[in-house]
Amino acid sequence: MKFQTPTDEKQTFFFEVPSNLSQKEVQEAITKEAELSEAQRLDDPRITSNASVKVADSTLGQAAEVLDAVLRPPFFRPKSTLEVFADFLETTPKNIVVISKAYAPFKSKLIRYALPKVFNKDSGYQKTDIVYQLDDDIVVSLTKGGNEMEVIPIGPGKTTKIPVSFLTGIVKGQGKMVLQTKSDWGGFYLICYCKKGDEDFVDGFTEYLENWVKENNFYKGAKIDPKGNFLKLNDYTWNDVFLSPNVKKAITNNILDFFKKEPIYIKNGIPSKRGILFEGPPGTGKSLSGKVLASKGLPAATTFIWVTPDDLRCSEDVSQIFDLARELNPTVLFIEDADLFCVDRGYDRKNPILGEIMNNMDGLVELHGVVTIMTSNNPDIMEKALVDRPGRFDVRILFAPPSEDLIEKMLKTFFGKVKTKFNFSDAAVRISGHELTGAHIKEIANLSTIYAIDDNSLDTNDIAIVTDEHVNKAIDSALNLKIRAGVNAVSKTTAGKGPKNGPVAAEMPDMPKYVESFQKELQQALECSPQKTEEKTETSKPKGFITAEALKQKTEKIEDNLNEQTIDNNSGEQLSCGIKLFLKKLGSNKEDDKNE
């Protein structure tokens, strides 16, 4: 095929230039290329391979190849990344095999921390540079320079720098591969390039890397959150939390003894996992018990993962957190406020988080060496297939309001830094019976001290002297706030017990004072709802009779009013659940009413 080479010295060529070439190097390369003779251009294989082809007989592809050679001389036709990898692997691009290995996001930091450390004499693996030969005088490295570093924690108060990304050649003996890392929202990936027949070399390196990570995992035995941040904990002990002897015994038997006796359980066919629900009113010590476990309450090698509702925004978050617990076992997985995302499917059917939690707690993938603890203020609104099914929750531990003896013990502890001139037993008697929790009792102690300071009831060293008057005033203040710890708490330490029977309003969670009117309206609607009778006529309807449709409209109006109020998220969600539970309880009556 005959062609005319360009002769215009001002002709402009458009081409890709590696980003790490300086402007001077680029200009020198262009100048050198412009000086190439026509004979040198004719040596290009794109031209020689089509020299015998007549223009009339040429295909579009052949014509385009020759035109490409004329307008884009060899230097200006940059190699693709795959072609550069092929040169390093001493093969052709078509003979390259790409192997991608996916990992959970939490492993990203671990693997990037490990990669620089696995290249040593003991492993035999050596990293090497991958270069791009632009010209006899110009060589570009694809693996040197430009590596951005990230500072990560590797322990409480300890940090180190790791590469944000990684690209290198790896050599061991006759084996070669190219390793590249990639991260996105869905996970972390190792992308390995090798020539056909060297797949075993890739498998051998990744297996060595994974074993190194497993043996040097800085998360194992640590106290962390799901993002890999190390928890900053105070020095809590069991003396900091006031629990009844039965609760302490249940925690010891089902958590602490579990890890000590795990090998014995396995030998006797008992699953090496445990599901525990901490249930009870707010302020009774559920979360504080978790802090004690995380601080010093577990064997040294046990990993503790603290999970809050903010960590569980989708089902993928759930699966990744449980995978992390499996990876770091023995593990205590402590999940706060489970009633916010494990609501009964009867009034929240579209809840992928709940489904993923149930699947991970008792599904195809075992939870060997993992104790899952969840806390709940309102277990009655939780999914029964979760809380009442053995295999998911094996034990339910009730954190009830304290007894009179425990209240007296709390008062003596909370008043430890001040002088007291009142009878602790008398104060405990007055507090008991009002379902006040440890949090309320601590507030009574603080208020009493504040009242003493305000009255200038101080000794010569300005230490408060608390009297009966101050304590009684603080107790009255706490009772007048009408903040109660739950409604008719019922012990459910035995799996299989359902919620108690009784008025629906009594089962609804307690609300702040400014939504009490909504509760009263619901209760009023319940009292006016029709009772089932063998015969119902228009004349026999009791005064205040309300149809199912009217009842539905009434509750919808209440929910609309609630949405217009400025209330905290937890209270709003709990009230909404209470309304739905209320309608669910009346379901059978509503169908009969519709027929009327």
SS (H, E, C) 62-79: HHHHHHHHHHCCHHHCCC
Q: Give the span between the Cα atoms of 431 and 476, in whole angstroms.
A: 10
Report the distance separating Cα 228 and Cα 209, nearest Å. Answer: 20
What's the pLDDT at 163? 87
Whole-number pLDDT of residue 496: 37
Round to whole Å and give the CA distance between 230 and 250: 28
Q: How far apart are CA 180 and CA 147, in angstroms?
A: 13
CB atoms within 10 A of CB 191: 14
In the chain, residues under CATH classification 3.40.50.300 are 238-397
Return the CATH architecture of domain 238-397. Answer: 3-Layer(aba) Sandwich (3.40)
Peptide bond into 330 cis (omega under 30): yes
pLDDT of residue 239: 84
Among 333, 426, 417, smallest CA distance to 372 is for 333
Q: Would the pTM of this model clear 0.85, i.e. be above it?
A: no
User: Do residues 465 and 419 lie in contact, with contact meaning Cβ atoms separated by under 8 Å?
Assistant: yes
Handedness of CA 42, 43, 47, 49 (dihedral sign): positive
Which tokens sit at 66?
A: 């020759």
The confidence score (pLDDT) of residue 454 equals 93
Give the Cα separation of 410 and 44 in Å (integer).
Answer: 90
pLDDT recorded at residue 71: 66
- In the chain, residues under CATH classification 3.30.310 are 81-218
- The C-alpha atoms of residue 417 and residue 403 are separated, in whole angstroms, by 23
Residue 510 is predicted with a pLDDT of 43
In contact, 290 and 334? CB cutoff 8 Å:
yes
548-565 residues labelled b (16+ CB within 10 A) or e (exposed): beebeeebeebeeebeee
Give me the pLDDT at residue 490, please.
Answer: 37
pLDDT in tens, the chain (596 residues): 444 444 444 333 333 444 555 666 656 655 555 554 344 555 666 667 777 777 667 777 777 777 776 666 555 456 778 888 998 999 999 999 999 999 888 889 999 999 999 998 889 999 998 887 665 566 667 776 556 888 998 988 889 999 888 899 999 999 999 999 998 877 899 999 999 999 999 999 999 999 999 999 999 999 999 988 899 888 888 888 899 889 989 998 888 888 888 888 888 888 888 999 999 988 899 999 999 999 877 888 899 999 999 999 888 899 999 999 999 999 999 999 998 888 888 776 778 899 899 999 887 788 889 999 999 999 988 988 898 888 889 899 999 999 999 999 999 999 999 999 999 999 999 998 888 888 889 999 999 999 999 999 999 899 999 999 999 999 988 887 744 433 333 333 333 333 333 333 333 334 444 345 555 555 655 555 444 444 444 444 444 445 556 655 666 665 555 555 444 444 444 455 555 555 555 554 444 444 44
Three-state DSSP state, 160: strand
Per-residue model confidence (pLDDT) at position 126: 93
**Cβ count within 10 A of residue 452:** 25
Q: Specify the domain boundaries for CATH 1.10.8.60 within the chain.
A: 404-480
Which CATH number is associated with domain 81-218? 3.30.310
Q: Does domain 404-480 have CATH number 1.10.8.60?
A: yes
* Maximal C-alpha separation, the chain: 114
**Residue 279 vs residues 314, 357, 399, 489: alpha-carbon distances, Å:** 24, 18, 6, 9
